[in-house]
Amino acid sequence: MTCKAVRSVNFAFTILLAAWLATSVRAQAVHHLDEVHTPRIYDSLEDWLGRADVLRTRILVSSGLWPMPERTPLSPRLGEPVEREGYTIQSVLLETYPGFYVTGNLYRPRGGENRYPAVLSPHGHWEDGRFEDSELASVPGRAINFARRGYVFLSYSMIGYNETAERIPHRFADPRYELWGFTPMGLQLWNSMRALDFLSALPDVDSTRIGMTGASGGATQTFMLTAIDRRIKVSAPVNMISAHMQGGCVCENAPLLRLDATNIDIGAMAAPRPLLMVSTSGDWTSNTPLVEYPAVRSVYQLFDAKDRIRNVHLDYPHNYNRESREAVYAWFDRWLRGMSESESSPEMPFRAEEPSALRADLPDTAPDLDALFEAYRSRSIQQISDAVPTDWPDLYAYRDRFGAAFRHVFQATPDVNAADLEVREPEGRTRASEAVLIVTSGQRPDMEVDAAIEFAAEQRAEGRMVFTLRPYPNEFAVPDSIAHWTTYNATTAARRVDEIRRTVERIQARPDVTELDLVGLGEAGLWTLLARALVSDVRSTVIDFKVKDVDAFDADDDDAFVDHLFVPLLRRAGDFKTAAALIAPARLEIRYMEDGLLRAWIHDVYRAAGASEMLRLE
C-alpha cells in the first residue's frame, strides 16, 4: 500500500460482508451460571492434556494471576497456642500482598510424628465463615477431627469474612476492576495460594502430603487451586461440581473464566490425583452420580486411574455435615496416611472454641477496597513497565508472559457468526493478488461511505482486492437478569476484535490472496490493532487511534477503556503495549496518537526488534 493511500481518508466499500449495514445484527447466544451443560468427552489422554493446559492458563489469566504477581514475604504472625486434648490451635495472620491480609487458624496434633500430612481448608458461604459451627456445617469440627487424626490443618477465611469484613467486602464488582483482574475470585485464589505457601513451609508439615477440602464456595476454591497447583495431592470439594450451576457468588465467577468451560472440566484437572466428589440430593449436585461423576471419571480413565476418584452421594440439604466429613476423613486417611477404609475411624465428639479465642489481630493499617485496588493496579503497571523489551530475547520473553495472557483475553468466541464474503475483483485480474481489509466503526457512516469511493478506485486500479468489514455494528444490551455476565459471555468489544481476526484468517486462506494489508478507521482502529496482534503474515497495518470524530484515545485512562473498549483483563494483559510487542517487526502506522507512555513504549518495542523504520506514529 502506498504512503499516499495509507494517509488518505478516501476509502470505499468494494467488497461487502454479511451484516455490513446497521440493519444486520450478529447472532449472540446468552450464557449464564444456571445453564445446563453436556459434559465433554475426550477421546485420548493427549486431547485432555491439551485442554487442561489451556484451562490452567485460563484460570490464572481470569484471576489476574498471569503473569504471576511477586510472592512478597508473608510475615506470618501466630497467636499463642490454645492447648486441648490431642491438638493445639493458633490464630494466623498472613500478609499475602503488602498491606493485605488473610486470617485463619492453625490446628496441630500434639505429639507423635515429626512431620505430618496437612490439610488446607476454606470455609465456604456460611454466615460465620471459618467459625461456623452448625449441624449442616461445622468448620471447627472438621479442623479438630483432622488434627486429632494426625494432620496439620489450616482453616482460613475467605475475603470479606471474619476479621477482614469491616475493610473488604466479600462481594464487589466494578468494570475498572475487571480490566485489571481485580476481583473477589482473583484475590481469594491468590490468598489460597499464599496460604498453601505458608502451610507447606511449616517445619512439621510433610509438603508431599497436602490435601484440600471445602464446601460450597470453599469447594470452588478447592477445585480451582487443585487445578493450578500441583502441591495439592488429594482433593475433596463438597457439594459444588455441577453441570447446571457453576457458582452463584462473584467470588466464584472471574471474568472470562467460563466462556467455554464448566466446573466439570475444572474439577477434572485434579486427575490423576485422588479426588472425592461429595454430593447431595438437596442442592445442584443432585445429579452427580449420573452426570458429573461419570464425566470426571472418564478423564481419570484416560490416566488409568479410575481407583483415584469416588463419589459419595448423600440425602441432605446443601451441607458439609458429619456424614460428609466422615467420607472426607476416610478418603484423606487412605491417600495421605496409607490407611484402609476399615482403619479410618468415625468423627469424635468435639467442642468448638468461642470465636473470640480464635480471632487474629488485623493491623489498623489494613487497606480498604479502594486503597487495595490502587496498590494492585500500581503493581500491575510496574510489572509491565519492568518488562519493556530492549532486544529480541527480551521481546520473546515478554511475548511468553504477557502475550499468553493477551491471547486468552481474546480467546475464540464460538457464538460469532462469520460473515459471508462477496467478492468484486479488479477487472481483468487473472492471477493471485494483493488485498486490503478495511475495518470501519460505523460511527459516521455518511463520512465513511463518501470517503470510500476514491480510495477503492485507486486500490482496484493497482490490482488489489478490497474487503470491508463493520464488525458487530450494535452494542449488545446486557440483560439485567443475567449475573456474572463477563464470566460466561464475551463483551461487544471482544467480539468485534474476534470477528476481525476471523475475517483476516478467512481472507488469508483464499488461494487468490498473496499478501494482505489491514486498515482500521475511527474507533475501529482500536479493535483492528488488537486483532492484528492475534494473527500473522499481515504485511502492513494502518489504524486510527481515536474515538468519536477527533479525540485521541487515552490509553492511560481506565474510564476510556470502560467507555470505548471494555474487555475484561485487557489492561492486566498489557493492552496495546502487548499488541505492539506481538506485531513487531511488521509495518505499523498509527494515526492520531498523542505523546505519552504508550507512544514511547511502542517506539521501544520496535527499537528492540531492530525495526524502527517499520513504525510510523502520527
Per-residue pLDDT at 21 exceeds 60: no
Beta carbons of 148 and 348 less than 8 angstroms apart:
yes
Provide mean pLDDT across the span 108-134.
Answer: 94
Domain around 156: 48-361
C-alpha cell at 348: 469424635
DSSP 554: -
Q: Residue 432: which CATH number? A: 3.40.50
Provide mean pLDDT across the span 297-318.
Answer: 98
Per-residue pLDDT at 11 exceeds 70: no
What pLDDT, on the 0 to 100 scale, is given for residue 84? 96
pLDDT in tens, 400-444: 999 999 999 998 665 555 554 545 566 656 566 889 998 888 766
Q: Are strands 465-469 and 540-544 parallel, antiparallel or unpaired?
A: unpaired
Closest to 226 measured CA to CA, from 298, 147, 310, 121: 121
Domain assignment present for 36: no
**Which residue type occupies 391?**
D
15 — pLDDT class (breaks 50, 70, 90): very low
What pLDDT, on the 0 to 100 scale, is given for residue 472? 78
Portion of the chain with pLDDT greater than 90, in percent? 79
Report how far residue 44's alpha carbon sits from residue 47's, in angstroms, rounded to the nearest whole number: 5
Torsions phi, psi of 481, nearest 5? -80, -10
Lowest-confidence pick of 127-141, 233-247, 421-435, 579-593: 421-435
Report how far residue 440's alpha carbon sits from residue 317's, in angstroms, rounded to the nearest whole number: 54
C-alpha cell at 238: 463438597
What pLDDT, on the 0 to 100 scale, is given for residue 552? 87
**Which residue type occupies 382?**
Q
Which stretch of DSSP H or E encloses residue 469?
strand 465-469
C-alpha cell at 60: 490464572
Distance spanning both ends of the chain, measured CA to CA: 17
What pLDDT, on the 0 to 100 scale, is given for residue 27? 58
Q: Are strands 433-439 and 513-520 parallel, antiparallel or unpaired?
A: parallel
Q: Which residue has the higher pLDDT, 424 or 53?
A: 53
Lowest-confidence pick of 23-37, 394-408, 517-531: 23-37
C-alpha cell at 331: 478418603
Collapse the DSSP code of 121 into the 3-class scheme (helix H, G, I; strand E, B; otherwise coil) and give the result: strand
Q: Mapped to the 3 state alphabet, what secondary structure does 238-270 carry?
A: ECCCCCCCCCCCHHHCCCCCCCCCCHHHHHHCC
Q: Residue 330: which CATH number? A: 3.40.50.1820
Report how far residue 128's alpha carbon sits from residue 99's, in angstroms, rounded to the nearest whole number: 24
C-alpha cell at 478: 446486557
Closest to 10 measured CA to CA, from 454, 461, 438: 454
Report how far residue 360's alpha carbon sits from residue 235's, in angstroms, rounded to the nearest whole number: 27
Q: Which residue has the higher pLDDT, 74 or 446?
A: 74
328, 361, 394: which is the final residue of a domain? 361
> Mean pLDDT for the chain?
90
Per-residue pLDDT at 577 exceeds 60: yes
HSE value, Cβ hemisphere, 13 Å, CA-based, for 476: 22
C-alpha cell at 50: 491439551
Domain assignment present for 279: yes
Per-residue pLDDT at 8 exceeds 90: no
446 shares a domain with 393: yes
123 shares a domain with 228: yes
Q: Which residue has the higher pLDDT, 460 or 285?
A: 285
Domain assignment present for 40: no
Write down the H helix ranges in 121-216.
139-148, 175-180, 184-201
pLDDT in tens, 432-442: 688 999 888 87
Write down the H helix ranges in 215-262.
217-228
Report how far residue 422's alpha carbon sits from residue 12's, in angstroms, rounded to the nearest whole number: 15
Provide mean pLDDT across the span 11-33.
Answer: 48
457 shares a domain with 348: no
361, 390, 417: which is the final residue of a domain? 361
Report how far residue 356's alpha carbon sits from residue 559's, in angstroms, rounded to the nearest whole number: 43
101 shares a domain with 21: no
Write down the H helix ranges in 462-591.
485-488, 492-508, 524-532, 558-564, 575-583
Domain assignment present for 374: no
579 shares a domain with 520: yes
248 shares a domain with 331: yes
Domain assignment present for 34: no
Domain assignment present for 368: no
